[in-house]
Structure 1
């Protein structure tokens, strides 16, 4: 009888322990087709992975430590649906962090922030929710920053207000970095050299949520391996503010961003040649506005206009977008997005991801101009030329 009671007690303890901790496997899969004009050789029809959002697979878990405190973790990888490979440079290249959370004092995380770098929180105030043609396009991927060696704190929600701070060490021998391995940004238009590493980065966010509107402000800085702000699209300071307002089924968006790279030099831009009459940009002003209309419970239509102006003669560009999604179920939806960029005579921004159309006049492989020397074929338009693209795809989540 004692053995039976002991076995029952052990089983009961095991059930309680299991109830106090959890591990969840999750992911999303996104694949589609894109048509784009104005690239070298003419137009292209391409199969794409992640036009609405990068495909991902991951694990997250929590363990109840008592007193309202939980230990948490998250491991997340990006997936390329065209070949089955992982993305972002490493197995869990989107995030690998562990931390503690408590409803009273907030959440602390440490590890590889990856795609959770604080600039990516700006999707909240982007009408296109950081789809492929969105808030990141006219700043050549700057708002898709990634960072490692991260320490982060998020406050609890206090009367609608949330504060967040993030600090990403360079892991180099001095405070800001010294050209060592650092941590890989993962994109942002780098083609070689500095693109393999970064120096110290940090940022802070304040956000206020009410029933009908949201306000957000983010300060973010990313340094090159030598601790400098040497490329306005890659290693720079960013100040961003925006908000949304909901009126029934309609949601309005507006925002502004200023990028600054006071240490800009040829090395920071991978020795890219500048367009005629221009010198290296040290600042970009970026503003946008848009609207989302929930036409039916399963149909959403969004439209937005983005405008950016770079100093030192680098011109301006305007992006026009129209997108829609249709939910087939709670987990699966179809999507489509159209985008058109109009460039001034000294601007050549395209509908790429920062890799495909970095700053600078083209290398030998790019007859249309644009792109840093050594970048390979540049998929951006030539200076003063526009570019149109459209995509259609399917996303499912689990």
Structure 2
């Protein structure tokens, strides 16, 4: 009898151990973030604008992230991430359920390989050095200036507004602080291998106080494959539709391709962090993509943007961080006229806990010259209604909670 009881206890214990081991090998995490604030726009087409705004420091979201242990250091991984507007419950990213990220892949000793809708590498690797992006390369709160602190129109995608569909991405492991990544996005157009395709490469170094990176992204037919308002497809949503709404670059919707080259670096000095970023953006072959309304200025050639930013944060105390940033954008159109945008970002972030913080930001932009629409350039702080004049001021206060 004692032997039988002992056997039952051993079998029960072994069963619990195996179940625990299985649970340890398979992990699924439900996570999310809710960001809500009050936004004041002092010059929205000449009027003042007051509104509640969702997704200011970071886009409001929820997601599922999981891994399954395959042994020998290998695992399958997946991410399904949804974006939404807290004020009306609407889906973000063109209405797709998992418009922020939808990928599956494998991870192991030689790196990770993932398939699906993913961030391109300029936004992922270099965006974190700006004041308006919360990617992991940056030290500190990240995106402390809010999305409105992004470069005009987020033309260089350093705020990671646009993703690539139908993409395969490889990320290497880190070797002495260095790692590299590459990705390719299939256009998915019947009868054409190259139409609407995209590719991206990046390299980064993270070593204590210093981190730095460089990346390049190229996208064909950017109006459809990159700015397209229907992320379910890399093909045109309408033959006559322009998805490039900002006056900073809306005149270049007929471009055959867009190329972004960017580099950035961060250095930590005790409680202070200083970062610098440079990006070069080219809309090549303007006029190459047909469709009524895509080229109202009948432009032909290349439009070039050169953008530089320097920013700094200071940790006043454990919960309080202050930040300031300046960025300058010079845009030259195919007809050899240019626009210039100066922008200042000021912000404060106060952590109530590890998961909840309060924030305030002030954004000011000044525009000069002739913009992509061949009209006097107007100030166009990203993600809000553009100004009717050459200057614009936006103020923001809000709360962010992570779960």
Q: Give the deviation of 1:87 after TM superposition.
A: 1.1
Name the stretch that deviates more: 384-393 or 28-37.
384-393
Partner residue, 1:337: 361
Q: Whole-Å Cα distance in 2 between the matches of residues 60 and 327 of structure 1?
A: 25
Q: Deviations over 1:196-251 (max 9, x none)?
A: xxx11110110011211111101011211799996499951000011111111111
Q: TM-score, normalised by structure 1?
A: 0.80
Distance 1:35 1:226, change over 3 A: closer
Aligned residues: 347
* Residues 74 and 96 in structure 1, CA contact (< 8 A), matched pair in contact too: yes
Q: Pick from 259, 265, 271: which aligns with 1:249?
A: 271
Distance 1:139 1:96, change over 3 A: closer
Partner residue, 1:262: 284
Q: Deviations over 1:298-321 (max 9, x none)?
A: 111110011111112131111111
Q: Whole-Å Cα distance in 1 between the matches of residues 70 and 392 of structure 2?
A: 54
Partner residue, 2:321: 300
Q: Deviations over 1:246-278 (max 9, x none)?
A: 111111111110011221128589436459xx9
Q: Whole-Å Cα distance in 2 between the matches of residues 300 and 234 of structure 1?
A: 43
Q: CA RMSD in A?
A: 2.7
Q: Whole-Å Cα distance in 2 between the matches of residues 43 and 224 of structure 1?
A: 36
Aligned pairs for 1:1-398 (under 5 A) are 1=4, 6=11, 8-89=13-94, 90-102=96-108, 104-113=109-118, 116-121=119-124, 122-129=126-133, 130=143, 131-137=146-152, 139-140=154-155, 142-143=157-158, 144-173=161-190, 174-177=192-195, 199-224=196-221, 231=253, 235-265=257-287, 267=290, 270-271=293-294, 273-274=296-297, 282-311=303-332, 312-346=336-370, 347-353=377-383, 379-382=385-388, 385-398=390-403
* Residues 284 and 303 in structure 2, CA contact (< 8 A), matched pair in contact too: yes
Q: Whole-Å Cα distance in 1 between the matches of residues 257 and 224 of structure 2?
A: 9
Q: Whole-Å Cα distance in 2 between the matches of residues 292 and 232 of structure 1?
A: 39
Partner residue, 2:237: none
* Residues 290 and 304 in structure 1, CA contact (< 8 A), matched pair in contact too: yes
Question: Unmatched 5+ residue regions in structure 1?
Answer: 178-198, 357-378
Q: Whole-Å Cα distance in 1 between the matches of residues 224 and 367 of structure 2?
A: 32
* Residues 111 and 149 in structure 1, CA contact (< 8 A), matched pair in contact too: yes
Q: Give the deviation of 1:140 after TM superposition.
A: 4.2
Structure 1 residue matching 2:152: 3-state secondary structure: coil
Q: Whole-Å Cα distance in 1 between the matches of residues 110 and 40 of structure 2?
A: 48
* Residues 149 and 381 in structure 2, CA contact (< 8 A), matched pair in contact too: no
Distance 1:271 1:100, change over 3 A: closer
Q: Give the deviation of 1:289 after TM superposition.
A: 0.7
Q: Whole-Å Cα distance in 2 between the matches of residues 348 and 170 of structure 1?
A: 34
Name the stretch that deviates more: 140-149 or 222-231.
222-231
Q: Give the deviation of 1:340 after TM superposition.
A: 0.7
Question: Unmatched 5+ residue regions in structure 2?
Answer: 134-142, 227-251, 371-376
